[in-house]
Structure 1
Amino acid sequence: MTNIVTMIPVRMASTRLPNKPLLDINGKSLLQRVYENVKKTVPGDVFVAAGDRVIVEACEKFGAKAVLTDPALPSGTDRIAAALKEIDPEGKYDIVVNFQGDAVNVNPAVNNELIAMIERTGCDIATVGMLFDKAGDVKVPSNVKIVMGLREGEDEGRCLYFSRAEVPFIRNPESCKNQDFYHHIGIYVYRAESLKRFVDLPVGVLEGREGLEQLRALEDGMYIRAKLVSELTLDKNAPADIDTEEDLEEARKWIK
């Protein structure tokens, strides 16, 4: 039987939305909403990887398990790895889900597809992609592209590269059957051993160039696989994450 744990990395240091994890959404904090969504949807244990003691104290009040981690850790990936080391020194967990603490509108069920993909293929890391709706969005550097060689009818495959550039280039549009571009969505599920290996690696050359940490894994020969999904959110008219005051107000409209 596969042992699964979901880690929700959370810290208070949000510049655009101060105290974001503990902001109220119709009687419950953003963090509590996310935790409860995950708890009822994804199998296995759920922990909050907290960067601040106030988050641990908030978790205790609504019954969530939390692990206090170093607030100076450079990324959410480092935070969940540190929390995993704390709670699982004997290595009982096989798969680690990384679920963002502000992703209140992301359907946690997508992680179940990624868990199944890891179990089926043995990949190190599973992630998510979507087709670009608008051609112009492909040119935007903040919209990260996945390079995969998918054939007709395939909805998952090995990730060959990730880039902020418009890749792969289409040399002969008239004869090229697959002209799709895949938008990378930063949702990750790891084999536990692969997560430990990843955070121990030095920053990669390509990672430093593109500013994308997943390239560190590819440079080291790790197997990343992506699943294409058509729907990601619980409410398709609301933002997936809470980044601004406007996002928060939208969440308060649809979450009851």
Structure 2
Amino acid sequence: MKTAIVIPARYASTRYPGKPLAELRQADGSVKSLIRMTHEAAVEVPGIDAVHVATDDARIAAHCEAFGASVLMTSETARNGTERCAEALDRIEAEVVVNLQGDAPLTPPWFVSALVEGLADGEADMATPVLRCDEATWAMFREDRAQGRVGGTTAVFDRGGRALYFSKEVIPYVDPGKAVDPVPVFHHVGCYAYRPAALAAYVRWPEGPLERLEGLEQLRFLENGAHVRCVEVSARGRVFWELNNPADVPRIEAVLKG
């Protein structure tokens, strides 16, 4: 299947303005922007036909063009990355469109490959990866919520992998007195693979109450009955963390240094 990766990037983030241009120190002491690191992660994915950055901001566009990225300018009215990807549909040729969000530079290439494979049987409208939390990640999720920070997103799904819900709360709730093994919480990785028809339908649907309350774009698919497949992936020893808040910068830099 012909596949294109689109990296949506906006400057006016509520929680972290200018986030795509945030600089992170690499293992060799140099610095790279968040959006450049994400682009480099995208081009590592095998079997991808094209990689584009979709943005409405001239500063981000100029920065990306300077390191050789293909840039698609989109409108300022796009409310999230999925809408920004949908705007790019008429300028790309693809049977599958992958949304690799610009705040996830640690996304391993096999996560994306698994998503494309997850759409191969024709049943799902959209696929997204989930990663079972280890004890350390689960503890960080709970610490973020205890401190009033919005950290990562968690997902619950049925036995066939069909998504039931996504939340910025840590779900499912686990009684602190219960011993659980393995950890029953799955980290939703900010990456999506869409069929073009589903992506086109997305922008025709109104924003629903769950999407509005949680601030999670993928909930619009669930609120309209779309089949969202959660594809369980393995970290294979690599640490995955998104850059959601300034507090995440040292976490990611520690991973890079390690």
Task: Judge same fold: TM > 0.5, yes or no.
Answer: yes
User: Are residue 148 (structure 1) and residue 186 (structure 2) matched?
Assistant: no
Q: Give 1:71 deviation, angstroms.
A: 2.6
* SS of aligned partner of 2:88: helix
Change (3 A) 1:161 1:103: closer
Residue 125 of structure 1: aligned partner? 126
**Pairing partner for 1:67 from 67, 72, 91:** 72
Q: Give 1:109 deviation, angstroms.
A: 2.5
**Pairing partner for 1:217 from 210, 215, 221:** 221
Residue 27 of structure 2: aligned partner? none
User: Are residue 76 (structure 1) and residue 86 (structure 2) matched?
Assistant: no
Aligned-partner Cα distance in 2 for 1:18–1:127: 26
Residue 93 of structure 1: aligned partner? 94
User: Are residue 113 (structure 1) and residue 114 (structure 2) matched?
Assistant: yes
* SS of aligned partner of 2:75: coil
Aligned-partner Cα distance in 2 for 1:198–1:123: 14
* SS of aligned partner of 1:5: strand
Residue 20 of structure 2: aligned partner? 21
Aligned-partner Cα distance in 2 for 1:18–1:145: 24
User: Are residue 44 (structure 1) and residue 54 (structure 2) matched?
Assistant: no
Q: How many residues align?
A: 240
Residue identity over aligned pairs, in percent, reads: 32
Identify the range of structure 1 (196-205 vs 156-165) with the bigger mean alpha-carbon deviation. 156-165
Residue 8 of structure 1: aligned partner? 7
Aligned-partner Cα distance in 1 for 2:106–2:183: 30
**Which of structures 1 and 2 has the bigger CA Rg?**
1
1:8 is aligned with what amino acid?
Answer: I
Residue 241 of structure 1: aligned partner? 243
CA contact (8 A) 1:105 1:241 kept: no
Q: Give 1:208 deviation, angstroms.
A: 4.0
* SS of aligned partner of 1:48: strand
User: Are residue 55 (structure 1) and residue 60 (structure 2) matched?
Assistant: yes
Residue 157 of structure 1: aligned partner? 161
TM-score by length of 1: 0.76
Aligned-partner Cα distance in 1 for 2:79–2:35: 20
CA root-mean-square deviation: 3.7
CA contact (8 A) 1:30 1:104 kept: yes
Q: Give 1:40 deviation, angstroms.
A: 2.4
TM-score by length of 2: 0.75
Q: Give 1:196 deviation, angstroms.
A: 1.0
Change (3 A) 1:147 1:230: same
CA contact (8 A) 1:3 1:93 kept: yes
Change (3 A) 1:30 1:162: closer
Residue 196 of structure 1: aligned partner? 200
Residue 153 of structure 1: aligned partner? none
Aligned-partner Cα distance in 2 for 1:148–1:254: 31
